[in-house]
Structure 1
Amino acid sequence: MLETSTVVLPDFAAGAVNLASARLGAVGIFSTDEFFAPVSRMLNDEPASFDPDLYDDNGKYMDGWESRRKRVPGHDYAIIRLAMPGRIFGFDVDTRFFTGNYPPHGSIEAAFVESGDPTDATVWTELVPKSPLGASAQHFFANADSSKVWTHLRLHIYPDGGVARLRVYGAAHFDWSKVGATEEIDLAYIFHGAKSLAWSDAHYGHPDKILSPGRGTNMGDGWETKRRRGPGHDWAIIRLGHPGVINRVLIDTHFYKGNYPDTCELLGAYLPDAGDTFSEAEISASEQWQPILTRQKMQMDAEHFYEGDQIQKVGPVTHVRIGVHPDGGVMRLRLFGTKA
C-alpha cells in the first residue's frame, strides 16, 4: 500500500531541496541499531509504503529505519551524511505506518565536517531539541538559524522504534566565489544551488530531477508530465544556482522513447528579487520572458546540444522557463555559462 501525503507543507519547504535525499547521494553511515529496518530506507525519496503480508527473517518488513525494542538504558540514533553541504530550513520526521512501534520522542543534531565523516572529536550542534513524536504522522520542525552550513545529521529516537522518512529541507551550499569570471559552469545543477520553483505538471516525475547528476538511471529519474488532452503545453520554472549568462544548452531525453516532447524551448529572465514561490500572475508573465533557445525538434533517447548562434544573447538571467510541447519527459537539462 502506497499513500501520497495530503499534508500541506510548511513555508520553510518552499523553494527548498531535500538534503537527505538518497537519490541525490545522502547516506546513512551509522546507527546504534537497525535490526528491523536499515537507515537507508529512511532516506528514500518515494513516500513510505506498507504491505501487511510482507515479512523478512527478523519480523515485519517496515519501509523506514526501525530498531529493536530496547531492554537496556539509553536510546538509539543514526548518523546521516547529507547529499550535499547545505543550509537547513527545517525537517520532516515522518512516522507513517509506524503505529505501535514509533519513537515517543526525537531530536536532531548537525555537524560540519570539512572532509570525510564525523569522528569522536566532531562538535555537534542541537537543531531540534527532544520533541514529542506521534504514530503514523509527519512532524515538521523549523530550524531557527538557517545561515549555517552543515554536512551531517544525527537523528536521536527515544528510546527506540521506527521512522519512515527523514526529509531535510534546505539549500545546497556552493562557494561561487571560487568560480572564475570566465569559467564555464552548469548554472542549472542542483548541487550548485539550482531549484525548480513552479511547473504545469509533474505526474510521473518532479522537475527537480532534470537538475540532478549523471544522465539518469531509468525513465523514472527525469521530469515527465501526463498526456495532455487539451490545448497548451507543459513547462517548468527553474531558479539558477547563480545569476549568469547562458552559452550552451543540453536537453537530454535519455530513456524517453515513446513519451519524449515533440519540441522544447527555453526562456529566461533576470529577477534577482524573486521569491521562492510564483503567483499566477508571475507565472503568466513568464510566458513573455526572453527567448534563449527557440523551439527545437526533439528526438527519442538522445542528447540535444545547442550553442553559438543557436543561443540568443539575452545577457544575465536568474530564472529560466523550459517549455515542452505539448507534453512528455526530459531526463536532464544542463545550462552551461558564466556567472554574472
Structure 2
Amino acid sequence: MTMFDSLRRQYVNLAQPRLGAEVVYATDDFFADKARLIDPAEPVFIPGRYDENGKWMDGWESRRKRIPGHDWCVVRFGVPGLVAGFEIDTRHFTGNYPPGAEIEVCRSNAFVPDDEACWTKVTPRLSVNGNDRIYVPVDHADPVTHVRLHIFPDGGVARLRVWGRVAKDWSMVDAGTSIDLLAMENGGRGIIANDEHFGVVENLTALGRGVDMGDGWETRRRREPGHDWAVLELGAPGRIEEVVVDTAHFKGNYPDRCFIQAAAEAAGSPDEIAARSEGWPVLLPEVKLQADHVHVFRDGLADLGPIRFVRLNIIPDGGVSRLRLIGKAA
C-alpha cells in the first residue's frame, strides 16, 4: 500500500468536484485550464496532443512569466473542511514545473476571497520537483472553505488534493430531521474494504446516483470461499430508520445478497477496525439484491441505538453504487 492509499483510508479529498469544490480563480492558466487541477482522475500525458496555445497538459499551467511576481490560484470547497494535509502532484510536468510552492487557507463567505480575508499560511515555501508527487501535512485546527496555492514563479501542477474531514455543522440540522448520515457531504467516509479492484469504497458515500460502473465500489470476481466487505464511518452517530442500497449500472456484476453490521464505536487502524467489525451486531439481515436497482429497506432493521460505523457485506462479490443510511443524528 502506498502512502497515498493510506491517506485515502484516513481522510476525504475536500477539493473534489463531486463535493462541490471548484477552482474559482487563477492569475493565469494560458497553457492548461485551472479546472483540471482538481480533476479526480489520475493525470495523464498524451504525446502529440496540442491545442491552439501549445502542448496540452493535464493540470493547471501558466505561461512563462516575463514580469515580476508569481502565479497563484484559489480552490473553493463545496463544504467546509478540517485540513490535514496537501498532496502536490507534478506528474508529467518536467521542464515546466514550478520549483517552489506555498499554501494558504481561509474561511470566507466570498466566492473568491481577496487579500483582506483572513488567509493563514499553513506551509513554508516548499521545494517542488518535476514529475513528482509529495504530501505535506499541516496543523490547522479550524474549518476552512478556501485554499490558495502559490507557485514560484510560474509553471504547471497536475493535481492538488486537500486531504481532511468534512466539518459538518450539526447545530444547523433540526434534531427531528432525518438525513443521510453516511453521505460524504455530511462527513461520512469509507475506511477500508477487502477489495477495491474496480472501484473504491469512498464512492459509496458520494452525492447523487453513480454516473457509471466506475462510480461505485466494485470488487474483482471472487474465486475463493467467503464474501467481500467494506467498513464505513457515519458523519455523526445516529439511529438508522432506512437503508438504501443502490446497484445503479451494475447489471451482470451486482452482488446476489448483502447484509449490514454496525457499531457505536470503533478505534484503531483501519485494519484493526476491520478485524473487529466481523463481530459487530447485524443492523440489516441478509437480503436479496437486484441488478441496476434502488433497494429501500425500512422493515427488519435492528434497533441498535445510535451507531457510528457500519460494515457492508456483499455476497459473494460485485458492485454497489451507493449506500445511504437515513436517520436522525443522536
Partner in structure 2 of residue 183 of structure 1: 177
Distance in 1 separating the partners of 2:274 and 2:197:
19
Give the 3-state SS of the residue equivalent to 1:209 in structure 2: helix
Partner in structure 1 of residue 297 of structure 2: 306
Structure 1 residue 278 and structure 2 residue 273: aligned?
no
Within the candidate set 224, 233, 237, 1:230 is matched to: 224
Structure 1 residue 100 and structure 2 residue 95: aligned?
yes
Unaligned runs of 5+ in 1: 1-5
Give the 3-state SS of the residue equivalent to 1:220 in structure 2: coil
Correspondence 1:74-113 to 2 at 5 A? 74-113=69-108
Contact 2:62 2:154 (8 Å CA) reproduced: yes
Pairwise CA distance, 1:182: 2.8
Distance in 2 separating the partners of 1:192 and 1:291:
24
Aligned-residue sequence identity (percent) comes to 45
Within the candidate set 16, 24, 29, 1:34 is matched to: 29
Contact 1:248 1:335 (8 Å CA) reproduced: yes
Distance in 2 separating the partners of 1:52 and 1:116:
36
Partner in structure 1 of residue 278 of structure 2: 287
Partner in structure 2 of residue 337 of structure 1: 327
Distance in 2 separating the partners of 1:115 and 1:224:
39
Give CA-to-partner distance per residue, 1:200-251, whole Å, 9 cap, x none.
Answer: 1111111111111111222211111111111111111001111111111000
- Which AA in structure 1 matches 2:12? V
Partner in structure 1 of residue 307 of structure 2: 317
Distance in 1 separating the partners of 2:232 and 2:8:
16
Distance in 1 separating the partners of 2:8 and 2:206:
19
Pairwise CA distance, 1:131: 1.3
Distance in 2 separating the partners of 1:225 and 1:81:
33
Distance in 1 separating the partners of 2:225 and 2:208:
33
Distance in 2 separating the partners of 1:248 and 1:203:
29
- Which AA in structure 2 matches 1:178? M
Unaligned runs of 5+ in 2: none
Partner in structure 2 of residue 162 of structure 1: 156
Distance 1:321 1:175, change over 3 A: same
Contact 1:10 1:140 (8 Å CA) reproduced: no
Root mean square deviation of aligned Cα: 1.7
Give CA-to-partner distance per residue, 1:140-192, whole Å, 9 cap, x none.
Answer: 211122x1111111111000000011010010011112333332111101111
Give CA-to-partner distance per residue, 1:251-280, whole Å, 9 cap, x none.
Answer: 011111111111111100111x624x3235
Contact 1:64 1:162 (8 Å CA) reproduced: yes
Pairwise CA distance, 1:39: 1.2
TM-score scaled by structure 1?
0.92
TM-score scaled by structure 2?
0.95
Pairwise CA distance, 1:20: 0.8
Partner in structure 2 of residue 194 of structure 1: 188
Residue range with higher mean Cα deviation, 286-295 or 120-129 = 120-129
Q: What is the count of residue pairs matched by the alignment?
A: 330
Contact 1:265 1:295 (8 Å CA) reproduced: yes
Partner in structure 2 of residue 50 of structure 1: 45
Contact 1:13 1:170 (8 Å CA) reproduced: no
Partner in structure 2 of residue 67 of structure 1: 62
Give CA-to-partner distance per residue, 1:262-309, whole Å, 9 cap, x none.
Answer: 1111100111x624x3235x42331221111111111111100011x3
Partner in structure 1 of residue 287 of structure 2: 296
Give the 3-state SS of the residue equivalent to 1:296 in structure 2: strand
